[in-house]
Structure formats: C-alpha cells, structure tokens
Chain A
Amino acid sequence: MGLATREAYGEILKELGEKYENIVVLDADLSKSTKTAVFAKAFPQRFFNVGIAEQNLMGVGAGLAAGGKIPFVSTFAMFAAGRAFEQIRNSICYPKLNVKIAATHAGLTVGEDGASHQAIEDISLMRSIPNMTVIVPADAEETRKAITFAAEYDGPVYIRLGRMAVPDLFTADYTFEHGKAVQLADGKDVTIIATGIMVGAAKEAAKQLQDAGISARVVNIHTIKPIDKEAIIKAAADTGAIVTCEEHSIIGGLGSAVAEVLVENSPVPMERVGVCDTFGESGIPSALLKKYHLTAEDIAAAAKKVISRKK
C-alpha cells in the first residue's frame, strides 16, 4: 500500500515551499488531517490557521492571491467546495485569482465520520465554475506532480485528495500533463475511464475482465476540467463502449463530464460507476466501497453490461 494522497500533498507542499517563496498556506483547523501541518512546521511564518471559518479561508486566500502570493488553502472537501462554494465562485474564480484549493477527505472513504463529512458533490460543484481547473490525483506520485503543476500554473485550481492510503500506481518518472488523460492499459472491447482512488480499482477490473476474455482499455482522467475530449472520443471510436468510475455522485462528476463529450461527439453505450444519488454512512472505507458498489467487481459488471448494449 502506498501513501494517502493527502500525505503526499503535505510532503510536496513543503518541498515547493522551499522552491517558491511566494507560496503561503492556509488551513481551517484541520492542518493535522489535511497534512498542511508539515508545511506549517517548516515555514511557520508562511502558514496561517484561519480557525473553523471556511468562508474566510477562501476570502483571505483570494486577497493573498490579489496581493501576489500563491496561496494553498486546505480543509475537507465538504467544507471547501460545499460550505464555501460561493466564496470560491465570486472571490476566487470570477476574478481568476491564483488560489489553489487542496481539499482532502473527499468521497465516501472519509469512512467512520459518515455522510455529513463525505463530499460526493464537490467535482460537480467545482467543475461548473468558469475559470476553475479540477484535478483528482489517483496516487501519491500523481498528487506530487499535480500539486507541483498547480503551484506553477496561474489561476484557480481545485485538487481533490483522499483520506485513506491507496496503492502506488506511478513511479517517480511519471509525467503529469495538465488536461491529458493517461492510458494505463490498452483494450478493444470497452474503455474504463476512472479518476482518483477508483483508478486502482479500474486496473483490477480490467484484469478480471481479461480472465473472462474481455479486452478493456483503462484510462486515468486526473484532470476533470479541462477534460481530455480527444482521449474520450478516441476511446469511443476504438472500443465502442465506456464505463466511468468515480468515488463521487454519478450526477455532475466524471461520468457526467465524459457523457457530455460523448453525446456531442460520438455517442456510444456508457455506464457510470459512482454513488447513485444517495448519501453515504459511517463505516470503514472498504465496507463503504463494497456497499455503495465502487469495487473492481462492480466496474467489471458494468463493463459487461455496457458491452452487451453495443449494437
């Protein structure tokens, strides 16, 4: 098992802090959980705890960016994208200010805290705002590269990070290309498009399908916005069927973003694996993923179903 993406965030943020003097970090009383505490320890004079006040977190971030700083602001995804949505929209994205929102504890795998803390709407909310870039890293290495990209890119970025440890998928030589999908396996019968912690499950599903004689392409879409239209259109042309997987509501997230591209360009049968318009609940992450149908087995079943819908 590798690191949780939030752990990788804490590490790389400290490294970037050494490289870029203009990076400042804000947190809303969750620095030990979001891992911004690592940066805080190294650069106490550039770390500001705003307390349990997420609206102000975003507003101060906007002001710091207007003053020439590169603020990374962190809290749980629920309170960033949810509670402070309108501050993100009006104070950060409308003036296209250079604020990086690194939101941790996204999705059901927050686990025991339950539905009140399980953000399954954040991708949907964030990608609907003009000027916003939305990135969902799949493992520790991709997180390091995505955070580095965010630090060097001029404009608002929302980065969705998770609480639980996830398997390493990429090695140190991995190159992160903004807005470019990453093909992890090729196949001809179906394409599985996954994001975040579901990328590992998608790879596992492809193996299971292979055993059943089905050849599946696996594509990791780390940048949900701007989305890699070309890779999606090519997947539709080459394999004729698509399955999307995300630890997020099937409404408005990766599945919706992919569907939007497909219907306007090359409609093919598609199935969405995600949280089916319901709240989560308390439980250990593995139990939640099983109960809410976010496992490799669920993805493989969706793949078989979508293949059966091909004409």
Chain B
Amino acid sequence: MEWTVRRLVAIGAAGSLALGITACGSDDSSSNGSSGSGGGVSIETANKISGPAQVESGKFYKAVPTADQQKGGTLKASSAEGFQHLDPGTAYFQGDYIVTSIVHRQLYTYDPADSSKVLPDLATGPAEVSPDGKTVTVKIRDNVKFGPPVNRTVTSDDVKYGIERGLAASVANGYFASYFGDIIGADKAKGGKIKGIETPDKTTIVFKLKAPSGATLSKALVLPLSSPFPREYAEPKDKKTPNPFDQDPTLQAATGPYMIKSYSAGRSLTLVRNPAWNGKASGDPRPAYVDQIDVAIGGDSSVNAREIQNTKGTISLDPAPSDGVARYVKQAPQQITFSALGNRYIALNTKKKPFDDLNVRKAAAAILDRSAMRKQRGGPLVGEIATHFLFPGSPGFDEAGGENGTGADFLASANGNLELAKSYLKKAGFKDGMYKGPKVVFVGDTESPGRETTQVAKNSLAKIGIQVEVKSVKHITMYQKFCQVVKAMESVDGCPNFGWLPDFVDAYPMIAPVLTDKGIQPINMNNPSLFSDPKINAEVEKGGRTADEAQRNQILGQADKDITAQVPAIPWLWDTQSSIQGPGVHGVIATWNSIWDLAYTSLTK
C-alpha cells in the first residue's frame, strides 16, 4: 500500500480495509437497493454502527492510557508495509511518525487520549503568537540532552537547524512549504541558515514571518520537523546524498525515550532506551513503559494479523487488513480498536463542462450512492458516510454541522435521491432532468477497492444520464500523472479516489491545501477540483490566521459549510482506521496519528 507521502499512504493504507467485513454491518443491507425516487436511507441511519462509536460503547478495545500500566519487557511489533523515511526532517508518513515521535522530542506533542490537548514537549509552554500573527516565540527546556554519539544539552539552535535542514535537497521535507514557507528567508534557503528563525539565547527560538500565519505555524510545531538536530554533528552529513541520517537512522542523536539500535530497510528495526533521556525530570510526559521494541518488517498483512491475534506481547503497526478486521470483530473485539482518520471524496473539475455548473455538481452529489461506495470498502466499520469535509474529531467539525451535516439536501440521502438529482439537472437547463452531453472522464484506480468504488460512482451517475468513461491507472499514477497535474486535468472531469487526512489536528490543513487556491500549482497540486472561490479562499485564510481556538474553529467550520454548498467535490466517507494487538499488550492509540503510540504502550502479565 501506498508511497512516500504520509497523507497519501495513510489514505491508501486505510484502503486496505476493503471487501469482506460487510457481515459486521447491517445498515448496508437496507441501503443496497436502487435509489428509487424516495431518497433512500438517511445518513443518520446509515452511520449508526460506525467503528469509533462502538469503541466508545465498550464493544471494542478502548486504547487509552491507564494508571495500572507496567514497566519493562520487549514489545514485538510487525509491519508489512515498513517505513519510508525515519529522518524526522523527511518523515511524512503515518508509519514513520510512530518511530520519529518516540526517538525525538518535538517542540509540542499531543495527549494520546485527547488530541485536542497539545502538550509542550521540548517547549516549556505554549507558543506565543504576536498580535499581528507575524512572530512566534517558543521557549525550550534547558535540561534535555542528545543521546549518543552527541551527548550534550539541546539548545534552540539545534531546533533552528532541525527546521533549516528541511530545505536541504537530501532532506527535502514535504510539508515545509505548506506551514513553514512564510518564514522570512525560507524561499531562498536550500538547507542553510534561514534569516527569519532567530535564537536570541540558548532556550529561545523566534520565528519571523512575512505573512500573519503565526497561528497555523504554531500548530505545525507538533510535526517532526521541529525535532532538534545537532548542527555541528549533522551539517556535514546533510550535504551527502542520500542523507546518511535517513539511510542509516542509527546515526541520529536521539532526544526521545528511545533510540534506534539497528535498522535494515524492509526487514527489521530495533529500538532501545535512550540513556540520555530523563523523562519527567525534563518535562517529557511520556511513560515509555517497554524496554525494547523489535519491529519485524515485511510479510503479508493478513498473515501478520492472524499471528498477532494469538501471540502474546505483539502489536501490528499496519492498519488491519479487511479479513483481519472481520475476524477480530468476531473473535477478539478487545484486541481491535478504531480511530478517525480523514475523509474521502470525488473531486469534480469545476473548470470544465459539465461540472463547471453548480447545479450539475449538486445533481451528481444527490444521485451518488455513497452507501454502496462505503460497502465496497468494507461497510460501516471503515467509516461514516460523510456529509462535509471536516471529519468527526476534527476541530471545526461541530461548527460545520457535525454528524447531521451542513443541511445540504443533495447530501441528505445515503444512497442517492433520483428526483432531487433530476430537479437540479432541470435547473441546469436539462428539461427532462436527464443530462445530455458528451461523456465525462474519471481517472480511477486499477487497485481495489478504488476500482470498485469508481464503478459505483459510474453506475450512480448513469442514472441521470451522465455517462462516465473511466481511465484506470495505478493509484500513484492517478495522483501524479493526472489528478495532481493542472495541465492533465484539462482532459479529466473527475478524480473519484481522492482522500485527505490532516498533517496535524486542526481544520486548516484539512481544507486549505485541498479546497482553496493554496492547493493549486502546475504539478504536485492537491486540489484536483481546481476549485478557487475568492470569498472562500479569504475565509479559510482568515481562519488559518486566527489564534483564538474557538473563533478559528467557527470560521473554518463555516468555510467547510460554504465549500460543501459549492460541491467542488462530493464527500462520501469519513475514514476510520482499525488497529490490532495481541494478548498481553496494553496498546494506546495516538489519536493524532490514528495508530499506536509506542511510548504509552505497555505489556501486561
């Protein structure tokens, strides 16, 4: 499953929750039929038995920290998918974050049980954002040490260098431009010093910005790029290609509770305690229960899931495969847990006929059988049917309408509403409510379950006369040769397999990169709808620049509502990720990463 980019891969990985678990669902049976004219099953009914809801009810394992967890032992983990980049400057993948977050201390971290709570990690307190939003100041602890081979106290210059090296070609951080790009001098830097990052003393770091984006930058300091890197040790190595710290991560000087003892790409990883870590004495809230973590990489995720189910002291770092979910739900519900992940939607090209017409887009949304699409992915346990873009648990979700949706009638039915769709087509000028025009082109996946969900979308649109020609390509090709390339989108009308999850817990990174002009650039763009509404762009930017949490969520929640009303894309799933563990493990989910947090996970007797 599923490549270098954290967001892409995690969405792709969740895609492995494909066919086979519909037996666990029940509402899908009622939403199986044709949309008919009555409007089918309501979203509210369809969403009743989602995975996270059942975790809360106690049916499945609730992966939260408790006071009785025990210290010691070796945790055996497996990962069929493996890791991509274990250098915190390069890491941009859910699986990589599992490791970088326990090897390094970022400026900030999250409470694993409540991702709305940001905890200072290397920082001593909250980031101070100046009233004009152009300066962010962070104070760091003076008693955090690098592990071997550096063995010295961390200073603010190490944090500065950790961020600066993100622009070195050999490090090439993937999200720098999105959240750190407004730092003064960043546009000209190539891994060397950035003028806008100042370190007036050894425990203070100041970010000077050319735009008032301090509120968003302060939130992005939970990302691994904010991990300190010792300049004198790392700078000479960072000039090499490929980067030695990524190729051989045992070279990294750890600041977190663990350090990498050995790593063989695609085969194994061993983490042991970092002797320089002094836990609570230096303000690290993490208990770091286990002494050692052995990760076996490779194999088949289904076989791994089977073995873990009966093997004491083991845990899976992969999302559970579809057959695994079905079996755990039935046989070991207290060894599986579900957490919210992100969203999925069908992007419609708003710059091209016929989807340049708002009413045609509304008709397409109204007729889409989202319940059938979800069924192709695995039914209710893989997530809730979406009614807008922010997903449950995301800041701004409630403000956008929460579970009930934004009130848009074209998204009210789980399995489509033919009469409503026809009425919108009539408004678009099609007298009998049936589309008459050339075929539209969707670029879909050759891989399951994207292939099947595209077919459902095609069948749905055919009901109102929109004939879809599906161009099926590999998942990665779909993104990089078509849906992320402006020029290629001139001949594409829709991308049915798009999805997104936030880089950090906030509404801004869920919206700005994908549904505003920020997401449009000639290549590597993330807005395949090419949707750019000046009013909404300004609204989202305003939200991104608002430091007050409640106000920020209000603005961005409203922006979500406004975007949904314009239907640049049809949201159809709020993704859920399932995680599994063996007996004898007290796993704790990092809700911000939707996967296990190994610094809180312990073994049980």
Q: Do A and B share a complex?
A: no
Residues of B within 8 A of A (CB): none
